[in-house]
Structures are given as C-alpha cells and as structure tokens.
Amino acid sequence: MKRLLFVFLDGVGIGPGGPQNPLDSAAHTALRRLAGGRRWTAPFPTNTAPRHHIGTLDATLAVDGLPQSGTGQGTMLTGHNCAALVGRHFGPYPHSSTHDVLDQAGLFQRVQALDLDSPAFANAFPPQYFDPDRRHWESVTTRCVRAAGLSLRDLPTLLAEEALAADLTGQTWRDQLNLPVPLRREGEAARVLADVTRAHGLTFFEYFLTDKVGHKRIDTAPAALLSALDQFFDALLNTLNPSQEALLVTSDHGNLEDTSHTQHTRHPVPLLVYGWAAPYFAGATSLTDVTPGIVEALRAENGRRPTPSP
C-alpha cells in the first residue's frame, strides 16, 4: 500500500530573498533538497517530476487582507475555500460558518472513505489538554480529527514512540508543562514519524513553531529554528522510501519568511511533494488543491474506485 505523510508547517511563505528572510540561507541542505536544490525564496518555479513536485500555492484565496490560520488551515484540510465562506480571513481558530464543512468534508474523513489503513494525526497532546475542567479552543485540525472519530494521541502514546510532541523534541513539555518525557533529537522524531507513516494510509503532523517565531512570540532565533527543522527533514528524507512513502509539505500562510515585521504575509506558500504522489499535484495552484490531490493520489494508487466529493 502507498502511504502519504503530510507535514504542515504553520506560517511559512515563499518571499523575496534578503536579510529579512531566514529561508534565504545556504545552511539548510535538507530544505533545499526538498525544493530540488533551491532555497525557499521567490522566484520559485513549479516543476513536477515522477517522484518530486516543487511549487507554490496561493494562500490569499482571492480574499483581501492577511491570510489567517483558521480559514487557511480549513481550506487546506477540506479543499473548500473557507475564507470565501466566511467572507474574510479568520483565525487562528475555525470560524463558525466553516464548522459544517470541517465536520463533513475534512481530509481525514475523505481518506477514511477510501478504506485504507486508518489515517493518523501524529501530534501528541499533554494531559492538561484532556482535563475536562480546562476549556480551550479547538483548532481546525482537532475539529477535523474529532469529526472523523479519530482519537488524539497522548502522553502514553508519545512515550511508546507512536506520536510526536508539537515541538519535535519534547523540550516544551519538559520546560513549560513539567512532564517527564525524554528529550528527542530532531532525527529521532523523524524516525518515529516515519514509523507512524508506515502504519497508516495518511499521517498528518503539524508544526507551529515556525509561525510563533515569525510572530516573535517565542525567544528562538529564526536561523536556529530552521536549523532544527532542517535536521528533522534530513532524517525524514533519508528514512522514507519514496516509491512507497510520499512526503507532502505545505503551509497555511506566510510569516517567517519576512522577519522585518511580526505579521502574516500574502506570499504564496510552498507545496513540496517528495515521492510517489508527486504527479497528482502537477496542477496545484491554491490551498484548495491540497486535500483533493491527497485523496486522489491515495485512491488512484491504492486501486480504489472514485468516491463522490462531499
């Protein structure tokens, strides 16, 4: 069975090079390998080879203003233009007028309908998240996961090496939540994620630190964060078998690529597909194309009949 790993990076656009853009660096060898040898800077031409698609996606969704995570992620995970549904960009949490589409047309449900090995959301959530006395906002992803009836991974799953902390290493769990998790190097996190990938038709992992650093909400230098992310992708690319396990990387909106301010941008976002699924994204131009491309790739390569789109 062919499997797909979707790594979502929050807040990473493709913008002009220059000192304001930490992605304009020769240091990130794995990021460049993912992009066919290029830096993640504009101009960023589209190219589709049998095992590697490189391109960008429009994240403005033909709506004025700065793209936001609620509508951007909703679009990415449903194929429906959630910014158009709301009439503006909205975030970081899902807008009420997108709840129906998130609940009925989410990527996880559409993959479930293909009758492959179950989809997985590989992020682990700390015990505090499951405390019924602590109310918290639901993200686009957790809403789509819940609508699909999938369980959220937790501390025991993390310790069993079947899930990843959102920061990859577990440092945040130790420092901010005082939880006794082992520190993992980025390469070890990649190995865990590859193992999860091999047990599921679709595996989804989301990484928020790129957006947080872009907003300067955490005290991490962009170059240090990208170096850690580069080590993660280096191990992932060296571990995955591209004929069987495809890696898709994209984002919901720009941010980190312009450190001259702390807001989102209207830049396009990268769409990088390494492995067997690449040809299914040859025509992708917008965040609306991510979910349909994944569903069609998994359906076509695993011999399932077309399913009607919700």
Nearby residues of 241 by Cβ (< 8 Å), 6 or more positions away: none
Contact 11, 253 (CB under 8 A): yes
Closer of 39 and 89 to Zn ion (Cβ): 89
Q: Shortest Cβ distance from residue 249 to Zn ion (Å)? A: 18
Q: Shortest Cβ distance from residue 145 to Zn ion (Å)? A: 20
Closer of 211 and 258 to Zn ion (Cβ): 211
**Cα(247)–Cα(260) distance, rounded to whole angstroms?**
31
Contact between 211 and Zn ion (CB under 5 A)?
yes
- Select from 150-158, 207-215, 218-226, 282-290 the region that touches Zn ion (CB under 5 A): 207-215
**Token pair belonging to 34:** 């993912």
- Select from 45-53, 54-62, 205-213, 287-295 the region that touches Zn ion (CB under 5 A): 205-213
Residues 214-233, mask of contacts with Zn ion (x by CB under 5 A):
--------------------
- Select from 22-30, 147-155, 196-204, 209-217 the region that touches Zn ion (CB under 5 A): 209-217
Report H helices in the chain: 29-34, 69-76, 82-86, 99-104, 107-112, 140-147, 155-159, 171-177, 186-197, 209-214, 222-239, 290-301
Residues 162-201, mask of contacts with Zn ion (x by CB under 5 A):
----------------------------------------
Contact 108, 292 (CB under 8 A): no
The whole-angstrom distance between residue 203's C-alpha and the CA centroid of its chain comes to 10
Closer of 254 and 279 to Zn ion (Cβ): 254
Provide the residue type at 232 as one letter.
Answer: F
Contact between 258 and Zn ion (CB under 5 A)?
no
Taking the CA atoms of residue 77, residue 22, residue 15 and residue 280 in that order, the dihedral angle to the nearest 10 degrees is -40
Q: Shortest Cβ distance from residue 261 to Zn ion (Å)? A: 12
Which positions lie near Zn ion, rule CB under 5 A?
Answer: 211
